[in-house]
Amino acid sequence: MEHPQSKADEILRCARTLIIRGGYNSFSYADISNVVGIRNASIHHHFPSKSDLVRKLVAQYREEAAAGLAELERNVSDPLEQLRAYVGYWESCIADATHSFCVCALLAGEIPVLPEAVVLEVRAHFRGLCDWLASVLERGDAQGRLTLTGTAHANAELFMATVHGAMLSARAYGDASTFGAITRPLLNRIAA
Amino acid sequence: MEHPQSKADEILRCARTLIIRGGYNSFSYADISNVVGIRNASIHHHFPSKSDLVRKLVAQYREEAAAGLAELERNVSDPLEQLRAYVGYWESCIADATHSFCVCALLAGEIPVLPEAVVLEVRAHFRGLCDWLASVLERGDAQGRLTLTGTAHANAELFMATVHGAMLSARAYGDASTFGAITRPLLNRIAA
DNA sequence: GATATCCTTCCTACTAGTTGGTAGGTGACG
DNA sequence: CGTCACCTACCAACTAGTAGGAAGGATATC
């Protein structure tokens, strides 16, 4: 039970990589068992239903995201640089096929067909990310490092939407550099 | 054969509504035959494979989009008002469950699991839309109606990404007004 | 004008493969 | 001895897709 990487965690990781490719309905238990050395039925031992699996997957993703942002806060103090680091993180992810999209951004598009429990997690991620962005923008504005038009919250929503849209465009064009081409002007625009 | 609304067209319409809910893998031939009065197998007569069906669906969608933009150009002359009309169109769509998302924006997220033929259509839509936006922005800039930082093309990519991201956020929050809350500041920002 | 031929549209009936999920058992380990 | 992790062996429902036939209209032939 004290594996450094438990089987349940392996399943979660694998499912995350699979879900990033094409969403909730694009992968099956069989896909997971083909990658992780485990039988189809054994996955149900750890996650009774697909809904459970994906809910936990998103919950874990949110925890990691929160931890990542907390570390970012620790390592970088300047608000503008924090935003740059956040965007830079995603820029490096886009090039990597296994992490080339935000799990929640992808699932958000499929919300009408998602189990309610998953929807709640996705929504919570959007709120949490927006709140963090708003706090950074607010601080940057107070410090005179950024110039905002409108409320910090409104700017945060716009910032988040643009980042998610940039992921979509990068996928559509099949060109990772698109992400940077969109987000760089976005950052420059709010820089004082 | 000369039905005002042919069966093939009914199938395409139905598939579009279904695909808007959750993408390529979220609907089946059975879902279509439940809505349109036709047997599962008969759908294959009109569209041999699912890939064919969705490719044609996206092609038809693109034609309508092009026609819509052409009409917009005819009815509205001011570039800024054209952008407002474009965004306004989507704002009214978001509230309607059957058309609450851009088909191509949704499919873009699933590109790694999509048939190649569909990917090409989706990519072409992104290019076409971006080109149109760039031409409007260019003209607005030349007329002094808009103030751009950077090239018209870069601004167009940013604009398009934000609109798509706003659709995602509206779905994530389950709140149609989010779309307007994001796109209004976007428009105000480029207005001279 | 009747009839034969063809094409289109849609049907019933079917298939092989996949889907998420269940029942019940085995071995290891505390 | 019980619990946990995992197994084999299932399952019903669903997936896209096929085979072959029936009905109807258009067209060509006599």
pLDDT per residue as tens digits for the range A72-107: 999 999 999 999 999 999 999 998 888 989 999 999
* DSSP character at residue A124: H
Q: Is the pLDDT of residue B2 over 60?
A: no
Q: pLDDT at position B145, please? A: 93
Q: Which residue is nearest to nucleotide D6 (CA to C1')?
A: A42
How distant is C1' of C4 from CA of A155, in Å? 75
pTM for the full predicted model: 0.94
Return the half-sphere exposure (C-beta side, CA atoms, 13 A cut-off) of residue A153. 6
Looking at residue A5, its pLDDT comes to 75
Q: Exposed/middle/buried for A128, CB within 10 Å: 0-12, 13-18, 19+?
A: middle
A33 — contact with chain B (CB < 8 Å)?
no
Contacts of A74 (CB under 8 A, 6+ apart): none
Vertex B176, ends B183 and B26: CA angle to 5°? 110
Tokens found for residue B187: 């428009």
The helix/strand/coil state of B76 is coil
Q: Which are the contacts of B39, defined by CB distance < 8 A and separation ≥ 6?
A: B33
Extract the residue ranges of chain A whose pLDDT is less than 70. Answer: 1-4
Nearest to B158 among A24, A106, A185 (CB): A185
Query: In which residue are the tokens 């952008």 written?
Result: B83
Among partner residues B108, B113, B189, which is closest to A168 by beta-carbon distance?
A: B108
Query: Which of B112, B161, B186 comes nearest A166 by C-beta?
Result: B161
A30 Cβ within 7 A of any nucleic strand D atom: no
B172 touches strand C (CB under 7 A): no
Question: Measured from the CB, is B184 under 7 Å from any atom of strand C?
Answer: no
Measured distance CA(B80)–CA(B76) in Å, rounded: 9
Rounded distance in angstroms from the CA atom of residue B36 to the C1' atom of nucleotide C6: 28
Question: Over 90: is that where the pLDDT of B5 sits?
Answer: no
Would you state the structure tokens that stand for residue A99, as one six-digit string?
Answer: 């992490």
Task: State how far the Cα of B99 lies from the Cα of B171, in Å rounded to an integer.
Answer: 12
Measured distance CA(A15)–CA(A32) in Å, rounded: 6
CB atoms under 10 Å from CB of A191, counted, come to 13
Residues A99/B164/B23/A117 CA torsion (nearest 10 deg): 70
Contact indicator for B145, B192 with CB cutoff of 8 Å = yes
CB of A34 under 7 A from strand D? no
Strand C-proximal residues of A, range 16-35, CB below 7 A, are 27-31
Does the distance separating the beta carbons of B182 and A123 come in below 8 Å? no
Spatial separation of the C-alpha atoms in residues A129 and A66, rounded to whole Å: 9
